[in-house]
Every structure is written in C-alpha cells, then in structure tokens.
C-alpha cells in the first residue's frame, strides 16, 4: 500500500530506504534514519504517517527542526503533498515569526526544536503561559520526529530530543530521529538504549547522488578574501556559493566584490541572519529560482553564512567555504551539485575560530582530515568515514548519562516555574535578543511591539554597547498573562543587555538595508511598525448557558470529536496505568462533566448574575472579573481523586489548570444548595459510581488554601497524563462554549497575526 501511495503522490517509486522506513514505522517501531542530503528523508516519514494515523500511529505528528528556514521549506512541501490526499489533513509551519498553530491544533505541526521543547514544558515561547498545557498535550500524544539532529547542540538540544524520545518510548509512542551526518557511535547508542530500527541509505539507490561528482579542494594554507573570490569569477559562467563563518565577513566580502561581480554579469545576493523576515523570505524565494535547478539559467553568486547549511533546497557548481567543523562542511557541501553533475568544493583556512571557539579540537581534526583527502571525490561513504573519524569519540562523550540528567533537571525547573529563558537555554547556547531601530520609542505606545525587528546575539550587542556607547533602550513589560501590556522604556547600558530581551537602537548608531541587512555603528533610519489585528475584534461573544447544558455539551464534543482523534494515546496511557480503557475514559469523562463544579458556588453565581438555573456563562460576563473556579473544582473533588492514586492526582492537576497553568490558590467558597442535584444529573451520563459524601465534606471552605503548583516533568507517565487530559479538557470546554471548533481556529489565527 505504501509503495502505491508514494508513487501516486510523488510521481515515482520510493527508494529502498524510504520503503524500509515506512514499513517499520507502520509497525509502530521507532526509527533512526541516516541518509544523505536530498534523499527524501521527510517523505519517508510523512507518507506512512498519512496511511497509518489514527490506527497504528497517533493522529498528530510534531516534526522538529533546528531552523526556521527549514520549517518553512518542509511545511510547504508537506502542504503540497497533503493536498493530493483526501481527508482534509491540516499541515502548518510554526515558529517565532510564523505562528500558524500556537495551540498545536493542526494534524501536522512542523516547528523548531525550541518551540517543541517549550510546548512540552507547558512553557510556550510565543503564547501566554496560562495556555501552556494545551500544546503540551499535543507533544505528549503525537508522533515525534526530530530531523537534522546532527545540527542540534550536542549537550543541549540533542539531549532534550533524547529526553522527549525516551518519555515517548516508555509509554509506547514511536519516535523518529533523522540525520545525514551522525556517527556510528550515536547509531549504536540509539539501537541499544532506545531499541530503534536503524535504516541506513545506500547512495547508489538515489539517482541524483549516483550522478553526482563533487570534488573537495583543501586550500588550507590560505584564508578567504575578496581577491581570491574575484579570481574565481574572472572566467566563470557558473553559479557560486560563498559561505563565511561570520555575518560581518559576509557583508565585507559582498561590498568588496560587488562592482567586479556586477561588471562580469553576475547576479549577486547576500543572505544572513540579520535581515528582516520579509526581506529574508524574498531573498530565499529569489535563491530558489536562480539556484534551484540542476542546470544554471544565469551566472550568480550567493554570499552567505551558516543559514544555508540546512533548509534551503539550492545547488551550485562551485562552493567556497571557510573552515568549519566537519558536520557543518558536509551540510554546506550538500548545496553543491545537489541535483547531480560535477561540482567543486573549496575550503579555506581561518585565523579565528569564531563562532566555533568551543569546537577548536574538532576544527583542528577537520583540517587534518581535509588535507588527507584533498582532491578526492566527496561521496556518501567518505562523508560517513569523516564523521566517524572526527566526531565518533565526541558523541561517545556527549551520550554519557550525566549530560542528559543535567538538561532534564534544567528543563524540569524551567517547566515548574514557567521560565521561558531557562527552558530555551536547554536547547541552544547561542542566546539572542530582539532588536529594532527607532528614534522615539516613547511616542509609539503599545505600537512599540509592532516594530519590525530581528534577532541578534546578546553577547555581540553587549560588546557593541560597551565599545560604541550608543543610545539604546530596553523595553520591558509586567510579567502578567494578559495580551494587552504596557511597555516600560528604559535607557540602558551594556550591563543591561541580556538574552531574550527587546532593545531599540537609535538610528544614529545602526543602519539597515534590504541589500546588506543590519550593520551596527553606521547611521541609518528608523524601522516601520507592522499593522496588527485587534484582540477586541475577535473576543468570543458568549451566550447565556446553564451549568448543566455546558457540562453536557463538553461531554458531547469529547465523545463525538475528541475521543476518536485521541483513541490511540488514551489507549496507551490506560495501558501504562494498568487501567481498563473504558475505566480510563469513564474517569476522564467525570473530569469533563465536573470541571466547572467550582462555578456552583454562592460567590460565583452571584457575580455572574444568576436569576434562575445555575449558570456556566452569561451574555453579560464578557470582560467581567469573575472569582476563580478551576482550583475550587479540583479541591472539592480531591478525595475522589485521592482514591485513584497518582492517576487521580494527574486528573486533579488538569482540572485545577483548565484556565491557567500553575493556578493554585483556592479562595474561600460555599457551594450552592442545589450543587448535588446538578452534579447527579450530569454524572448520570458517565459510567462510574460516585461517592458524593466525599464531595459533601468539601462543600465549603472558610479560608483560602493552596494547591500544589505543577506536576514534575521527570515522571513521564504522570506528566504526560496531565498534559493529554488537560488538552482534551480545555479543547472540549472551549469548543462547547463557542459551539464548534472554529473557536480554536479563530484564536490561533488571531494570535498568529498579533
């Protein structure tokens, strides 16, 4: 079935490694796929997922990548494939600049590894923390795919991916790791510790790789400069890609060769990380037109940095690079003769190892190996040999358990406190901040957050402020969970520069152009602000709804829509607790019908304006500050949950957090006299005997109290149960309130456009 589906959708039969991967995945096996660039790794996972989802595989897939450009490329490819399949599968790309599914509601979410990590830790990077357990439930119940894992920082992002994979495996969820350049030591570790099915591609099976002849030239007695590049283009009619290790070097070379290149008839493009999103997207689109096909249509030169190592499906005839770690060089080489044919890859020495100072030993080994293979054809077998010789021992060190334990401790602490910076620090060490250019931020008010901005390394910005003493402002907000925030604008000095901050530089000290990108220390102009959608236009208008009706609708939506979608995760969680599936579902349904029990208090019903029957919502309550009810619901049901042990405790957390993760205060309250009659009506729909005397004991609380704050992420069974139940409860609750699932889609659409 897979082979026919693949050929129908892709137009050609699958390669052997794609077929082997699909067969193993459909059997619910975890996969480690090693295959060269351009060999169709992504399709080898996406198409079997379409075939087996909701039956042998989870209904959702979270596909994690290292960089935004790769997210855009893979999600666009998946969307085109999905259009050829019946069933209306929804595929989105999601990252900090493209928030298409902040609640991870789509069937396939292609995202960055830091977004996946933040979501799993109930600490989303681009969503109010109070919603955190909604995307967490998606990560906890999906097929997790980690692609280009060789580019994850080995002591950080790779460790997080291994933690998430381990948590999945313990509960019977399959996962996938994919890479072009992973050493055998990593392969052996994954097979032994995670029981993964290993698939290793054969280059001779892949047409474009079989037809590819790429030769490596080690120019390691020389450093790269403009004169050497001009000598390359003097008599050339080919496409050339130049990769520098630093943005400033790329900008410098671009300016130095610009006139010569243009006079020779070359199209010249500069691409690096310091462009605004729109300009970067425009450049990437132009690159795909010029560098996308096997045969060149025109002479062109691309000057770039590490941003092209993954994510850009482009090719050239000549690649010129500065010396870098071997895995980075192999990724760069993957953009030369990518469609087949003859290519030449030149590597020049560097005097400064930045930004790879911490990998000095690897660069020295890389240099020695390049000198050994100078002039040879760089094929897949040689690539693997180089990776094993240079990185094999390093990965044996990286995979020692103490490194994973340290990252898990950091992740657990970040999740417990909802600390975004700490969670993101578990993924990558290169910590950035947002910057923009303006001369009068105080005049902008809240429009300050709509200014066009870009990422910049915090250490680089700190050194610039220290050396040049520019006028620069730090923008802060109160740490509250509201969409509307009032900015605090503070003049700052170098010691005030920190990762994840938002800074505005006066245009006397920073220049931006769509040709060169950001240049510090050069006079420029202010950047513009973008228009954003008003939240007031999209606030859900509630109708009056009785407490009983809302409970029934919440259960009805769960049974008709949510349960079929989450059948497999619910089954696996029930198995992990050694509970019959029907019993698991019955307890979950009890949470659904009683999640708003805390609204049946004298205080809450008075505030909402009840006139007859107890209310869940009123058409007059939008924007009105109502008493907390979710923590009261959890507290009143505590003795019921206590009888169910740790499983019941996970359900208690889910109810307590169904309006805000980490909610814990239980105010004084008194249940209304009719509470039991109302509860009996809705619990009669659930196949579960309930001892109401355990609720009666907590019918009133004369003083406030506190619940536990947050479940520990280290207990994967407990934590994932909390996340999945929270997601199911909150989606069912929200859709029951609005009437259909458009409420979720509208929220995601609004938040993605703010």
Q: Where are the domains of the chain?
A: 2-205, 211-379, 432-532, 545-753
417, pLDDT greater than 80: yes
E strand map for 73-172: 91-95, 98-99, 108-112, 143-146
User: CB under 8 Å to 327, separation ≥6 — which residues?
Assistant: 150, 151, 181, 387, 391
Task: Quickly state the pLDDT bin for 542 (edges 50, 70, 90).
Answer: low
pLDDT given for residue 541 in this prediction: 53
Query: 358, 304, 368: which is closest to 336 by C-alpha?
Result: 304
Question: Measured between alpha carbons, how far is 280 from 515 in angstroms, rounded to an integer?
Answer: 10
Which tokens go with 453? 């901005």
Pick the CATH number of 545-753 from 3.40.50, 2.60.40, 1.10.3210, 1.10.3470: 1.10.3210
Q: Measure CA 513 to chain center.
A: 29
463, pLDDT greater than 90: yes
Which tokens go with 719? 């934590």
pLDDT in tens, 684-719: 999 999 999 999 999 999 888 999 999 999 999 999
Question: Measured between alpha carbons, how far is 30 from 725 in angstroms, rounded to an integer?
Answer: 24
Mean pLDDT of 657-671: 95
Question: Measured between alpha carbons, how far is 614 from 682 in angstroms, rounded to an integer?
Answer: 13
Residue whose entry in the numeric block shows the structure tokens 């609204």: 599
Residue whose entry in the numeric block shows the structure tokens 């259909």: 740
CATH top-level class of 2-205: alpha beta
Mean pLDDT of 549-564: 96
Task: Quickly state the pLDDT bin for 751 (edges 50, 70, 90).
Answer: low
Q: Measure CA 742 to chain center.
A: 23
Question: Measured between alpha carbons, how far is 417 from 184 in angstroms, rounded to an integer?
Answer: 38
Is 621 exposed, middle or buried, given 0-12, 13-18 or 19+ CB atoms closer than 10 A? middle
Q: What angle, 0 to 180 degrees and rounded to 10, lies between the N-to-C axes of helices 68-82 and 41-52?
A: 50
Question: Measured between alpha carbons, how far is 541 from 114 in angstroms, rounded to an integer?
Answer: 34
Mean pLDDT of 423-444: 89
Please report, for residues 102, 534, 608, 645, 718, the alpha-carbon distance to residue 624 in angstroms, rounded to integers and kept in the order given.
26, 19, 8, 37, 35
Query: What's the residue count for the chain?
Result: 754
Question: Measured between alpha carbons, how far is 72 from 69 in angstroms, rounded to an integer?
Answer: 5
Would you say 450 and 532 are in contact if contact means Cβ atoms under 8 Å apart?
Answer: yes
Cross-sheet strand order for the sheet of 472-476: 454-457, 432-437, 502-505, 472-476, 488-491
Question: b or e along 410-433 (b: 16 or more beta carbons within 10 Å of the residue's beta carbon)?
Answer: bbbebbbebbbebbbbbbbeeebb
pLDDT given for residue 623 in this prediction: 53
Question: Measured between alpha carbons, how far is 45 from 32 in angstroms, rounded to an integer?
Answer: 11
CB count within 10 Å of CB 108 equals 26
Question: Measured between alpha carbons, how far is 410 from 160 in angstroms, rounded to an integer?
Answer: 10
Whether the link from the prior residue into 173 is cis, omega within 30° of 0, is no
Q: Per mean pLDDT, which range of 355-364, 484-493, 728-737 is the poorest?
A: 484-493
pLDDT given for residue 445 in this prediction: 84
The share of the chain scoring above pLDDT 90, in percent, equals 73
244, pLDDT greater than 80: yes
Question: b or e along 34-43 (b: 16 or more beta carbons within 10 Å of the residue's beta carbon)?
Answer: bbbbbbbbbb
Which tokens go with 404? 């994973």
User: Do 2-205 and 211-379 come out as alike in CATH topology?
Assistant: yes
Q: Which fold has domain 211-379?
A: Rossmann fold (3.40.50)
Which tokens go with 628? 């907390």
CB count within 10 Å of CB 371 equals 11
Question: Which residues sit opposite 498 in a β-bridge?
Answer: none
Query: 648, 616, 637, 614: which is closest to 696 by C-alpha?
Result: 637
Would you say 550 and 736 are in contact if contact means Cβ atoms under 8 Å apart?
Answer: yes
Q: Which helix (H) or strand (E) holds 89?
A: none
Q: Which helix (H) or strand (E) holds 730?
A: helix 716-738
Q: What angle do CA 76, 81, 87 make, to 5 degrees?
A: 115
Strands 61-65, 31-34: pairing is unpaired
pLDDT given for residue 486 in this prediction: 60
pLDDT given for residue 54 in this prediction: 87
* DSSP structural state of residue 283: H
- SS3 label, residue 676: helix
**pTM listed for this prediction:** 0.91
Residues 255, 256, 259, 262: is their CA dihedral positive or negative?
negative
pLDDT given for residue 68 in this prediction: 85
Mean pLDDT of 31-35: 96
CB count within 10 Å of CB 246 equals 17
The dihedral formed by the CA atoms of 103, 106, 658 and 707, expressed in degrees to the nearest 10? -70
Among left, alpha and beta (phi > 0; psi -120 to 50; other), residue 88 is left
Residue whose entry in the numeric block shows the structure tokens 């109070």: 130
Q: Per mean pLDDT, which range of 143-147, 284-288, 368-372, 598-602 is the poorest?
A: 284-288
Phi and psi of 502, rounded to 5°? -120, 120
- SS3 label, residue 314: coil
Question: Measured between alpha carbons, how far is 517 from 118 in angstroms, rounded to an integer?
Answer: 29
């Amino acid at each position: 079935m897979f082979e026919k589906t693949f050929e129908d959708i892709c137009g050609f039969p699958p390669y052997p490694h794609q077929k082997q991967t699909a067969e193993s995945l459909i059997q619910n096996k975890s996969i480690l796929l090693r295959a060269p660039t351009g060999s169709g790794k992504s399709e080898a996972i996406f198409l079997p997922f379409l075939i087996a989802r909701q039956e042998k595989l989870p209904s959702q897939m979270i596909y994690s990548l290292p960089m935004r450009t790769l997210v855009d490329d893979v999600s666009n490819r998946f969307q085109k494939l999905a259009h050829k399949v019946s069933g209306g599968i929804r595929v989105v790309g999601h990252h900090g600049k493209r928030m298409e599914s902040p609640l991870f509601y789509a069937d396939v979410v292609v995202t960055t590894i830091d977004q996946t990590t933040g979501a799993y830790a109930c600490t989303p990077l681009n969503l109010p923390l109070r919603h955190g357990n909604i995307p967490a439930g998606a990560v906890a119940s999906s097929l997790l795919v980690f692609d280009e894992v060789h580019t994850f920082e080995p002591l950080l992002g790779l460790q997080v991916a291994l933690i998430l994979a381990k948590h999945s495996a313990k509960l019977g969820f399959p996962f996938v790791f994919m890479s072009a350049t992973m050493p055998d030591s990593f392969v052996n570790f994954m097979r032994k510790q995670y029981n993964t099915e290993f698939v290793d591609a054969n280059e001779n099976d892949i047409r474009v790789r079989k037809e590819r002849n790429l030769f490596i030239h080690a120019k390691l007695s020389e450093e790269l400069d403009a004169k050497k590049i001009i000598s390359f283009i003097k008599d050339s009619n080919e496409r050339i890609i130049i990769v520098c290790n630093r943005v400033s070097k790329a900008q410098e070379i671009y300016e130095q060769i610009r006139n010569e290149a243009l006079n020779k008839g070359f199209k010249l493009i500069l691409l690096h990380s310091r462009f605004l999103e729109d300009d970067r997207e425009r450049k990437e689109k132009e690159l795909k037109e010029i560098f996308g096909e096997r045969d060149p249509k025109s002479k062109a030169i691309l000057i770039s940095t590490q941003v092209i190592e993954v994510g850009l499906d482009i090719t050239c005839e000549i690649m010129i690079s500065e010396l870098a770690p071997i895995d980075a060089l192999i990724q760069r080489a993957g953009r030369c003769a990518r469609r087949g044919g003859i290519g030449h890859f030149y590597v020049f020495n560097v005097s400064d190892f930045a930004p790879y100072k911490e990998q000095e030993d690897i660069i020295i080994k890389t240099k020695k190996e390049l000198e050994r293979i100078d002039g040879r054809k760089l094929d897949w077998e040689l690539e693997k040999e180089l990776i094993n010789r240079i990185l094999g021992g390093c990965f044996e060190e990286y995979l020692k358990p103490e490194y994973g334990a340290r990252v898990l401790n950091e992740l657990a602490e970040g999740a417990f406190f909802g600390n975004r910076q700490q969670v993101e620090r578990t993924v990558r060490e290169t910590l950035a901040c947002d910057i923009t250019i303006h001369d009068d931020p105080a005049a902008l008010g809240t429009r300050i957050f709509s200014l066009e901005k870009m990422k910049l390394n915090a250490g680089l910005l700190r050194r610039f402020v220290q050396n040049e003493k520019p006028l620069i402002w730090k923008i802060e907000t109160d740490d509250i969970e509201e969409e509307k925030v009032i900015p605090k604008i503070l003049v700052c000095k170098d010691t005030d520069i920190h990762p994840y901050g938002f800074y505005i530089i006066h245009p006397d000290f920073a220049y931006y152009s769509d040709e060169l990108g950001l240049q510090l220390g050069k006079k420029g102009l202010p950047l513009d602000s973008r228009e954003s959608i008003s939240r007031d236009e999209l606030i859900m208008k509630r109708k009056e709804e009785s407490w009983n009706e809302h409970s029934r609708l919440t259960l009805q939506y769960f049974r008709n829509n949510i349960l079929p979608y989450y059948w497999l995760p619910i089954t696996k969680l029930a198995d992990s607790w050694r509970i019959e599936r029907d019993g698991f579902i019955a307890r979950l349904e009890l949470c659904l019908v009683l999640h708003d029990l805390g609204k049946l208090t004298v205080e809450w019903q008075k505030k909402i304006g009840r006139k007859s029957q107890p209310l869940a919502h009123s058409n007059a309550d939008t924007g009105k500050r109502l008493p907390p009810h979710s923590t009261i619901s959890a507290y009143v049901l505590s003795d019921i949950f206590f009888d169910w042990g740790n499983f019941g405790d996970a359900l208690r957390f889910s109810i307590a957090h169904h309006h805000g993760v980490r909610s814990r205060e239980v105010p004084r309250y008194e249940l209304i006299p009719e509470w039991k009659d109302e509860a009996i009506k809705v619990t009669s729909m659930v196949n579960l005997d309930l001892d109401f005397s355990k609720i009666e004991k907590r019918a009133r609380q004369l003083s406030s109290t506190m619940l536990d704050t947050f479940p520990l992420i280290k207990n994967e069974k407990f934590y994932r149960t909390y996340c999945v139940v929270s997601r199911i409860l909150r989606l069912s609750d929200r859709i029951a309130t609005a009437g259909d699932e458009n409420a979720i889609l509208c929220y995601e659409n609004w938040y993605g456009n703010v």
